Amino acid sequence: MSSGYNYTALKTIWIKECTRFLRIWVQTLVPPAITMTLYFVIFGSIVGERIGEMGGRPYMEFIVPGLIMMSIITNSYSNVASSFFSAKFQRNIEEMLVAPVSTSVIIAGYVGGGLARALIVAVIVTLVSFLFVENVQIHHAGILLLTVILTSTLFSLGGLVNAVFAKTFDDISIVPTFVLTPLTYLGGVFFSIGLLPGIWESVAQFNPVLYMVNAFRYGFLGISDVNISLAMGVIVGFNVLFFVTAYTLLQRGTGIRS
């Protein structure tokens, strides 16, 4: 198969995915802005005044990176999970699988859509944060951008894997409700794990979201509860694991071919 054909297929899938969430932007891009505004008002303005500082920074500044990362995780995941399952439910994913398109291109196309939505939402939430925090400065732009790309890619792959196994639309909401939400809230978005008792601080370090939030916070504020090299290694490792899983499932036709 020629590289030109693969490029055309990749571009087509990516444009389709972007058009899909941009066409219904009121449902895909506006809710994150509203939700994050509520978080800033409640946890930042109201609760933050009582907490004061955390990690040597005003509490409002401390939670900004975590809230942006939370929106990246949820939107990249939900975009691919809902889109791929819709394609599977409508039986048009089979046409893509039998077409002369490599499995890697199919995965990259869907992940590209999740990445695009995550980046747009991240920009929107960042602009919202400017309404509440005056001095939002970027400490390390390279780590910031790399963390955003790797995290959104990881959860886009996770959404694809979830969609492969899902049998109904209700199955799509199981993982966000019972897995993503607890991991995110316990991943250092609103607090430093240094505040946890010894045993729970150790347990928290098994939470992969902790490394993503702290790597992103380091890019913004220059502070982190974990080693940055370790954090990037964990994120890259999970990306490889989920890509291999998604590739294997599509190759086998798991949940797709009857």
**pLDDT one-digit tens code per residue, 3-21:** 777 888 899 999 999 999 9
E strand map for 71-222: none
Q: What is the pLDDT of residue 112?
A: 96
Determine the Cα–Cα distance for residues 245 and 228; give it in Å rounded to an integer. 26
Q: What tokens appear for 248 in the block?
A: 């294997």
pLDDT digits (tens, 9 = 90+) for 49-83: 777 778 788 888 899 999 999 999 999 999 999 99
Q: What is the pLDDT of residue 201?
A: 84
The answer as to whether 258 is a domain residue is: no
Q: What is the pLDDT of residue 2?
A: 65
Q: What is the pLDDT of residue 8?
A: 87
Q: What is the pLDDT of residue 22?
A: 95
The answer as to whether 139 is a domain residue is: yes
Sequence-distant (≥ 6) Cβ neighbours of residue 251 within 8 angstroms = 103
The answer as to whether 188 is a domain residue is: yes
The answer as to whether 236 is a domain residue is: yes
Determine the Cα–Cα distance for residues 22 and 31; give it in Å rounded to an integer. 13
Average model confidence (pLDDT) across the chain: 89
Model confidence at 248, pLDDT cuts 50, 70, 90, reads very high
Segments forming the whole domain that contains residue 22: 3-252
Query: Which among 225, 222, 221 is positioned nearest to 210, based on CA atoms?
Result: 225
The answer as to whether 136 is a domain residue is: yes
Choose between 118 and 203: higher pLDDT. 118
pLDDT digits (tens, 9 = 90+) for 36-52: 889 888 877 777 777 77
The answer as to whether 7 is a domain residue is: yes
Per the structure, the count of domains in the chain is: 1
Angle, CA of 185, 186 and 189, to the nearest 5°: 60
Question: Which range (25-39, 187-201, 212-226) has the least confidence?
Answer: 187-201
The answer as to whether 257 is a domain residue is: no
Model confidence at 84, pLDDT cuts 50, 70, 90, reads very high
- pLDDT at position 136 over 80: no
Query: Which among 147, 151, 142, 169 is positioned nearest to 216, based on CA atoms?
Result: 147
Identity of the amino acid at 94: E
The answer as to whether 31 is a domain residue is: yes
Determine the Cα–Cα distance for residues 10 and 101; give it in Å rounded to an integer. 9
